[in-house]
Structure 1
Amino acid sequence: MSEVEVKHLGEGYMDSASLKKVGVIYGDVGTTQFTCNVIGNLEQGDYVQVYHERFGWVLGKVDEIKRKTNLTLEKAIKLQDDDFTVKEIVAATVVVIGYRDERGLLQFPRTPFNVGSIVYKAEEEFIKKVIGIKDIREKGAYIGRLYRYRKIPIYLDINVMVQKHVSILAKTGAGKSYLTGVLLEEFLKHNVTAVVIDPHGEYISLRTPSKKTKLHQEFGVLPRGYEGKINVFTPDVQLNKGKPLKFTLSSMTSRELLNLMNLDARQYLIPLRKAMDLLKTSRQYYTIKDVMRVLESEENNALQPLLSQLEYLDEMGIFDKRGTKINEIVQRGKLSIINLRGVPPDIQELVVQRLSMALFELRKRNKIPPLMLVVEEAHNYAPQQGTSSSTKILRTIASEGRKFGLGLCIISQRPAKVDKNILSQCNTQIILRVTNPNDLRAIGNSVEGLTKGSLEEIQRLPVGVALVTGGNIPMPLFVEIRPRETKHGGESVKVV
C-alpha cells in the first residue's frame, strides 16, 4: 500500500485485497459521477469505494443501474429463426460522495478517477467515516439502521430536532404514524417533554407494549410500554378517554370567536363585542350561555344566526369558566396527547391555535420546560392554500420557536398542501414513500443534495424505509426504521 493510500484510509481500514470487487470504471469520467460495468453483486443504493491516485479512497453511491444490450427490434424479431448471440453489459451510474481529508473535512476529488479503476463494495466503517455517521445514543434518537447495512445504526440528534424542527412526509399507508411512534418512544426514553396533536387518537397505544418479533432482536430493541409517562387530554370526554381539555372564553376576543364560527364580522362583531365587554366588567369568568343571555335580552331577530352558532359551540363543551392550565398539559419529561378523534374540524383548529399560542407565549417567558410540539395531519392546520386559524401561530413557531426551545414536528401525507413557510423551516426531514407528482416536486425543491435517482427511489420505497436528511445527518440517507417498542395504533381497519 502506498503512503498516500495509508494517509487517506487511516487506521483500521483494510487494503484493496480484502475488498470485494464489483466493477470497473469506463467511458467519460467526471469528478462528481462516473459509470462502471457491474461484475459483482451490486444494487441501486449500494455504497462503493474507489482508489484515487491523488486523494486515496473515495466513497460513492450507486444512483442508477442499467442493462445495455446490442439487441435491436429487428434482431429481436429474427431471434427465433436466426442463430444470434445477444451481447449485454450491466452498467451502474455512481454519484461521488467524497473523502475525508487530514482535518476530517468532507472533500470532493478535484480530478476524475482513472478509466479502468476498480470499483469495490464499500466497507461499513469507511461508509460511517466518510458520511459522518456517529453513535450519539446519549443524546440521539435511535430510529433504525442504514438501509441494507444493518450494522450501521442511525441516530438523530434530539437537541438539533427541537432547535431546528422536523418534518415527516409520506403517502397514506407508507408508515408515517409508525415512524412518528418510534420518534415519540425515543423522546420518552430521553425524558423529552412533548405535546402531540393527535387527530385520530392513534398515539394512545404508546402506553401498551408491542408483541416481540424477530425484528426486535435484529434491531436491538425490546417491547415496552410508557404508561406512567403519558397524559391524554381531549375536548370531548364523552367520545374519548382522557382528561378534559377546556379553554377560557374570557381569553378570546370577539373577532376570534366570530372567525371560529365563520360568521360575517361586519354584521355581528359590534353586538358580540358589546356583550362580551359587558360581561368582562361584571365578572372575571363567563360562559357561552352568559353571552347568549345578553344577546337574547336585545330581542333582535337579526342575531339569530349568531345565537345558533353560539349554541353549537356550547354543545361542543370546549369553553369553561376555568380552562385547562398549560402546566397541567406540559409536564417535564412526559408526553401529552391531545386526542381530537371525532372532534369537528373547526373545533380542532381552535384547539391547535389556542394551545400553540399558549405554548409559544409561556415558553418565551420560560414558564414551561423546553418541548417539542408534534402536529399530525399538518396540512389541515397549516394549509398552503385556503385559511386556517392555526396557520399564523404555527408559522411563528416555525420561524421563532427555536430561539425559545419550542420545537415543531410537522407530519403530513400531502407535502404539497402544507404551508411552504413552515415546511422550509424544518431542518430535519424524514420522507417515506411518496408517489404524487406535486408532492415529489415539493420534496425535490426542499431537500438539498437529493439526486434524481434518489427522488425516483422515493416512489418505490418499501414500507418501513425512509429517506432522512438534515440535522446531524450530513447527506440524504435511506434508513430502515426499527420496530416499535409499543403497539402501533394507526393500523388500517380490515373490512374482510
Structure 2
Amino acid sequence: MQVVGVTTQQEVYVASKDRKFRINEILVLEDRGLDFPRGEVVETLSYNRLIPMGLDKSVVDTQVIQSLEQIGYDIGSDEVNLAKLRLFSEAPHPVRTGVPVRAPRFEEVRRLLVKADPEEGMVLGEIRGTEALGETLDEDLKGQVRLIEDGEWREQRGVPFLFDIKTMQQYPHIGVFGGSGSGKSFGLRVILEELMKLAIPTLVFDPHFEMSFGDKVPELADESPSFDNRWMAVQVGREVGIHFADLSTRELVSLVGASGGGLTDPMTNVIQSLHKRGDNYISFSDRLANVAQAIEEGEKGLKKRLHDEDLTPTEAERIKDLLELLPQYGSLPLASVKGVQWRLNRLEKAGLFTHDIRVIEQGLEQGRLVVVQGDSWVLQVFSTYVITAVYKKRREYRDARMNGEEGVFFPPFVIVTDEAHNFAPKGVDAPPKRVLKEIAQEGRKYGAFLMLATQRPTLLDETITAQLNTKFVFRTVRGTDIATLREETDLTQEEGRRLPYLRSGDTFISSAVFGRTLFVRIRASYTHSPHVANPFDELRAVKAERDDRVLKVVRDCLPVFDTDLVDVTTQINRECGLSWEVTRFKQELERWTAEGVIIKKESPFVTRYDAK
C-alpha cells in the first residue's frame, strides 16, 4: 500500500494491488517528516479491466490515475484498490506522495479509539473497521461484547466502543436519533443497561411502556448482570403523582396550562385569584366550582332562590356562602373559570393528584434507574413537575455547597425520554420545554444531564439540539432530518449518503470527546422489551389457542346439527368467555371444515357437523 496522487494536509489517496480496503479502517502513513500520521478510510473503490473507469464520476481524479501508472500499475489489466484517507489531525504540510502505508498495531491507536477503562465506562458496542486490530488488542478489552449480525450471534472481533460517562461534565447531554426500525430504541436500552451497571441515578419517561428490564435474553442469561435492584417502574396515577398541597400558585398555573394547550391571561388570573397557600385538591376545586356557580347564577338569581319557601336551612346557608363570593370574584369571566375547571378535572381524572413523587426521589437517591410510564400527554404534564422538582433539589444542594453551607445531598442524575420532539418541540410551546432548555444550557454545572431520543431531529428544539455534545445517529431516511444531522455533527457527505442504508443496530456516533465520528455496531442487549414478540406471530398464537379451547367444547357436542347451533353457541360463550353469535359460530364451523378439522354432511333436511 502506498500514497498516490495529489495529497493535502487533510486527505490522501492510498492504492494497493492485492489488498482491499474496509470502510472506516485505520491506516498509518510512514511519513517520518510528519511523525507517521494516522487516518481513517472514508471512501473506497476497486477498478479492474472489466469495468469502465468513468473518471468523471469517481472520487479518483486524473492525477491519481497518472500517479498509479508512473509507479507501475497497469490500469488496463491490474485490479486497483483505492481508498480516500482522512487524517485524524491536520498535518502541518501535505503528506509525501509515494510513502508506504500499513495497518497499525493497537498500541498506536488506542488513544484514538479508547477513552475509558471497561470498569468505568459504558460498554456499548464494537467500532466498525477495527477488526484488523483484534489480534493486538489489549487483554482488558477482549471479549467485552457479544453482537447479533444478520440474525446470528458472534463474538467481538474489533475494538469495543467505551463511552466515558465522566466526560459528560465537560461535554454534556446525548442525542439518539433514528427512524422506525433503525435500532434507536434498542441502542437506548443498551445505554440504560450500562447506566444501571454504573449505578448512575436515571429518570426515564417511557410513553411506550417498553423500558422494562426484567426479561433477560436467554443467550446472555449466564453473563448478564442482575438488574433486579437497580431499576423500578412507576405509573403516573397509580404509584406516583403530584401532592397538590405542595404546589405554589406559579406551579399550579404551569400545571393546569400544560393539561389543555396553555392558558389565556384571564384563566391565569382565575388561578392566581382563587388559589391559596396550603390548598389541597378538594378545597381548591370546591372553591373553583362555587365561584363558577355564583357567577353563573348571579346575585339576582341567588337572592331569588334565597326567598324560596321550600328552601332547607342547609341550602340557604350554601346560597349565602355563594353570595359572599361575588364581591371578591364576581368580576372573573365565567368562561375562564370553567376553562380552568375543565383542565383541573382532566388532571384529576388521570389520577395525577392521588400520590406524590417521593418514590421517584428515593429511587434516584439509591442510584436506581426510575422508569415513569403513562400516556404521552400525562407524561408531558407530570414530567414538567417532577423534572423541575428534582432539578431544584440538586441545584439547591450545589448552591449551598458553593456558599460553604452543608445542604441536603441530592445526587446528580440523567433525564432520558423517547419521542423527545413531543417534550421539547421546535417553534411550539410544550409543558416541559422550558425546564429542559434550562438543563440543556446550565445543567452540567449542577450535575443534571439529558439523553433525548427521537425519530425526527428536525422537530426537536434547536437550542437543545445544539447542546447535545454526543449524538448517536441510526438509520435515517428523511432528507430534512439528514440535513439537520449533518449541520449538527461532523458527518461527511459520504456518511450522510450512507444513512438511509444503515443496518438496524449500526450507528454513527459523533462525539466531542473523540473529536470525530465513529461507526459502531451496538452490542446485544442483556434484556429485551416486552413488545419484542412479532405481532403476526402473536396473532397466529392467539388464534390457535382460541381454536383449541373452542374445539374442545365443540368436540364434546359432536355431532352438531343445524338445530343445535343456538345451544352449542351458548355453551361456547359460557365456557370460553366469548360473545359469539350463531352466525359467527357457523362461519367458524365452515372454516374448520375447509381446514379438514371436522367434516360436514348435508342432506335435504339437515346439515350435520361431525368428527373427522
**In the aligned structure 2, how far is the partner of 1:313 from the partner of 1:272?**
15
- Asked if 1:251 corresponds to 2:212, the answer is no
Query: What displacement does 1:388 show?
Result: 0.6
Identify which of structures 1 and 2 has the higher relative contact order when contacts are C-alpha pairs closer than 8 Å and 6+ apart. Answer: 1
Aligned to 2:553: none
**In the aligned structure 2, how far is the partner of 1:162 from the partner of 1:203?**
26
Which ranges of structure 2 fall in alignment gaps of 5 or more residues?
Answer: 55-75, 131-156, 297-333, 398-407, 538-612
Aligned to 1:418: 460
Aligned to 1:467: 508
Query: What displacement does 1:304 show?
Result: 4.2
- Asked if 1:65 corresponds to 2:65, the answer is no
Aligned to 1:285: 280
The secondary structure found in structure 2 opposite 1:430 is strand
Aligned to 1:105: none
After superposition, the C-alpha distances for 1:429-472 in whole angstroms (9 at most, x for unaligned) are: 22222222111111111224x33333333333222222223253
Aligned to 1:338: 372
Pair 292,493 (structure 1): closer, same or farther in 2 beyond 3 Å = farther
Pair 266,426 (structure 1): closer, same or farther in 2 beyond 3 Å = closer
Pairs within 5 Å for 1:292-307: 292-300=288-296, 302=335, 303-307=337-341
**In the aligned structure 1, how far is the partner of 2:519 from the partner of 2:53?**
36
Query: What displacement does 1:86 show?
Result: 7.5
Pair 92,233 (structure 1): closer, same or farther in 2 beyond 3 Å = same
Of residues 35, 40, 44, the one that matches 2:13 is: 35
**In the aligned structure 2, how far is the partner of 1:263 from the partner of 1:364?**
27
The secondary structure found in structure 1 opposite 2:8 is coil
Of residues 381, 389, 399, the one that matches 2:423 is: 381
Pair 227,470 (structure 1): closer, same or farther in 2 beyond 3 Å = same
- Asked if 1:46 corresponds to 2:25, the answer is yes
- Asked if 1:96 corresponds to 2:90, the answer is no
**In the aligned structure 1, how far is the partner of 2:444 from the partner of 2:96?**
47
**In the aligned structure 2, how far is the partner of 1:466 from the partner of 1:271?**
50
Aligned to 1:153: 160
**In the aligned structure 1, how far is the partner of 2:28 from the partner of 2:225?**
40
**In the aligned structure 1, how far is the partner of 2:219 from the partner of 2:448?**
35
Aligned to 1:104: none
Pair 133,262 (structure 1): closer, same or farther in 2 beyond 3 Å = closer
**In the aligned structure 2, how far is the partner of 1:419 from the partner of 1:490?**
29
Aligned to 1:456: 497
Aligned to 1:119: 101
Aligned to 1:269: 268
Of residues 198, 202, 223, the one that matches 2:206 is: 198
Amino acid across the alignment from 2:269: I
Q: Contact between 1:203 and 1:337, CA under 8 Å: does it hold in 2?
A: yes
Pair 446,489 (structure 1): closer, same or farther in 2 beyond 3 Å = farther
Query: What displacement does 1:402 show?
Result: 0.7
The secondary structure found in structure 2 opposite 1:57 is coil
The secondary structure found in structure 2 opposite 1:144 is strand
Query: What displacement does 1:398 show?
Result: 0.7
Q: Contact between 2:259 and 2:347, CA under 8 Å: does it hold in 1?
A: no
The secondary structure found in structure 1 opposite 2:182 is coil
Aligned to 1:187: 195
Aligned to 2:518: 477
Amino acid across the alignment from 2:281: Y
**In the aligned structure 1, how far is the partner of 2:352 from the partner of 2:86?**
55
Aligned to 1:4: none
The secondary structure found in structure 2 opposite 1:294 is helix
Aligned to 2:217: 210
The secondary structure found in structure 1 opposite 2:33 is coil
Pairs within 5 Å for 1:221-260: 222-237=223-238, 243-248=239-244, 250-253=247-250, 255-256=253-254, 257-260=256-259
**What is the percentage of aligned positions where both structures have the same residue?**
20
Q: Contact between 2:31 and 2:95, CA under 8 Å: does it hold in 1?
A: yes
- Asked if 1:176 corresponds to 2:152, the answer is no
TM-score w.r.t. the length of structure 2 is 0.65
Amino acid across the alignment from 1:42: F
Pair 152,88 (structure 1): closer, same or farther in 2 beyond 3 Å = closer
**In the aligned structure 2, how far is the partner of 1:439 from the partner of 1:374?**
21
Root-mean-square deviation over aligned CA pairs: 2.7
Amino acid across the alignment from 2:184: K
**In the aligned structure 1, how far is the partner of 2:121 from the partner of 2:179?**
26
Aligned to 2:379: 348
After superposition, the C-alpha distances for 1:147-168 in whole angstroms (9 at most, x for unaligned) are: 1433312211112236611111
Query: What displacement does 1:183 show?
Result: 1.3
The secondary structure found in structure 2 opposite 1:115 is coil
Pair 431,422 (structure 1): closer, same or farther in 2 beyond 3 Å = same
**In the aligned structure 2, how far is the partner of 1:495 from the partner of 1:158?**
39
**In the aligned structure 2, how far is the partner of 1:247 from the partner of 1:408?**
25
After superposition, the C-alpha distances for 1:16-57 in whole angstroms (9 at most, x for unaligned) are: xxxxxxx33222111211122342121222222220031342
Q: For this pair of structures, how many residues does the alignment match?
A: 432
- Asked if 1:26 corresponds to 2:10, the answer is no
Pair 192,28 (structure 1): closer, same or farther in 2 beyond 3 Å = same
Query: What displacement does 1:236 show?
Result: 3.8
Pair 259,406 (structure 1): closer, same or farther in 2 beyond 3 Å = closer
The secondary structure found in structure 1 opposite 2:502 is coil
**In the aligned structure 1, how far is the partner of 2:249 from the partner of 2:42?**
54
Q: Contact between 1:128 and 1:152, CA under 8 Å: does it hold in 2?
A: no
Amino acid across the alignment from 1:436: R
Pairs within 5 Å for 1:67-82: 67-68=46-47, 71=52
After superposition, the C-alpha distances for 1:251-289 in whole angstroms (9 at most, x for unaligned) are: 353532245323652443333433323xx4xx5423364
**In the aligned structure 2, how far is the partner of 1:258 from the partner of 1:33?**
55
Q: Contact between 1:162 and 1:371, CA under 8 Å: does it hold in 2?
A: no
Query: What displacement does 1:403 show?
Result: 0.7
Amino acid across the alignment from 2:94: P
Pair 230,72 (structure 1): closer, same or farther in 2 beyond 3 Å = closer
**In the aligned structure 2, how far is the partner of 1:406 from the partner of 1:306?**
33
Query: What displacement does 1:421 show?
Result: 0.8
After superposition, the C-alpha distances for 1:355-405 in whole angstroms (9 at most, x for unaligned) are: 111121111112421111112211110111322121111000011111111
The secondary structure found in structure 1 opposite 2:464 is helix
